[in-house]
Amino acid sequence: MSRPFRFGVNLLAPAPADEWRAKCRRAEELGYDVLLVPDHLGMPAPFPALVAAAEATRRPRLGTFVLNAGFWNPALLAREVATTDALTGGRLELGLGTGYVQAEHETAGLPWGSPRERVDHLRHTVEELERLLGSDSHQPRPVQRPRVPLLIGGGGDRMLRLAAEHADTMAFTGARSAPGGGLAPVTADEFEERVAQYGKFAAGRDAPAERNLLIQIVAVTDDPGAALREWLPRVPHLTEEQVLDLPIMLVGSQEEIVGRVRALRERYGITYLTVVEAHMEAFAPVMAALRGV
């Protein structure tokens, strides 16, 4: 039996205290299940932002989406996770990834490392967090037991394997690293292959993990071509039809988008969708139509 849908919004824009809290309350009013904060320079610091979100809301879970493991020492991160879980009343969901923006590491004066080194560091971080936060002697203590739920985001084989071994939620990026930095979207067929590969790695799990996808574009419209006009130059090798079929795109009428979200669950097992802040309002009617489906 399929899981019910869950929906999160990734809050990207820094804001003063009153504006931040109002934004979080609005997301709760719209029905989002999870309020999320990324881990990029120039965006809100994740843990204090989540504590403020908890003070302003009652129902939503609160998550990092996702922490750049290269920014963090595991022992210091364990302290942040435990403190934040306690201050949010056990509402924290910890999202981790390797990081993909080299310039941010350079600005922070931190080593970038090869892809292998970054995944190795993430694995070490995950294993150390499990050891530290699983110990009765660790202080401070998180509220949630046996642990704070873990989400791992990525797409390469080693990331999929790591998530299959450790994560409660596998967050598929729907993209790959692009030459010169940044990310480039993967096609529907390429995405299906990544999902299938994860399924092989996760075949021995006691219980299946939740599957998440970050949606980049939400446009409820009767003119999809207009909605994609600014996006098409970024993917010149794809036709408009192929772009509309990208898993990270939800463009069309409300009825069409609802159908596409249901298809994501049927084809890939995706039941947890995250939208970016800019599309929080646009996605709300779609989310409402999918409740209980």
Domains within the chain, CATH numbers bracketed: 6-216+253-290 (3.20.20.30)
Residue 150, token pair as written in the block: 């873990």
Q: So what's the pLDDT on residue 277?
A: 98
Q: What single letter denotes the amino acid at residue 53?
A: A
CA distance 110 to 71: 7
CA distance 147 to 138: 13
pTM equals 0.96
Q: So what's the pLDDT on residue 231?
A: 83
Burial of 114 (C-beta count, 10 Å sphere; 0-12/13-18/19+): exposed
Backbone angles phi, psi at 250, to 5 degrees: -125, 95
Q: So what's the pLDDT on residue 212?
A: 98
Q: So what's the pLDDT on residue 182?
A: 63
**Three-state secondary structure along the chain?**
CCCCCEEEEECCCCCCHHHHHHHHHHHHHHCCCEEEECCCCCCCCHHHHHHHHHHHCCCCEEEECCEEHHHCCHHHHHHHHHHHHHHCCCCEEEEEECCCCHHHHHHHCCCCCCHHHHHHHHHHHHHHHHHHHCCCCCCCCCCCCCCCCEEEEECCHHHHHHHHHHCCEEEECCEEECCCCCEEECCHHHHHHHHHHHHHHCCCCCCCCEEEEEECEEEECCCHHHHHCCCHHHCCCCCHHHHHCCCCEEEECHHHHHHHHHHHHHHHCCCEEEEEHHHHHHHHHHHHHHCCC
CA distance 48 to 120: 27
Tens-digit pLDDT string for the chain (293 aa): 578 999 999 999 999 999 999 999 999 999 999 999 999 999 999 999 999 999 999 999 999 999 999 999 999 999 999 999 999 999 999 999 999 999 999 999 999 999 999 999 999 999 999 999 999 999 999 999 999 999 999 999 999 999 999 999 999 998 877 666 667 889 999 999 999 999 999 999 999 999 999 999 999 999 998 998 888 888 888 889 999 999 999 999 999 999 999 999 999 999 999 999 999 999 999 999 999 78
Q: So what's the pLDDT on residue 176?
A: 79
Quote the crossing angle between the two packed helices 157-166 and 115-133, to the nearest 10°: 10
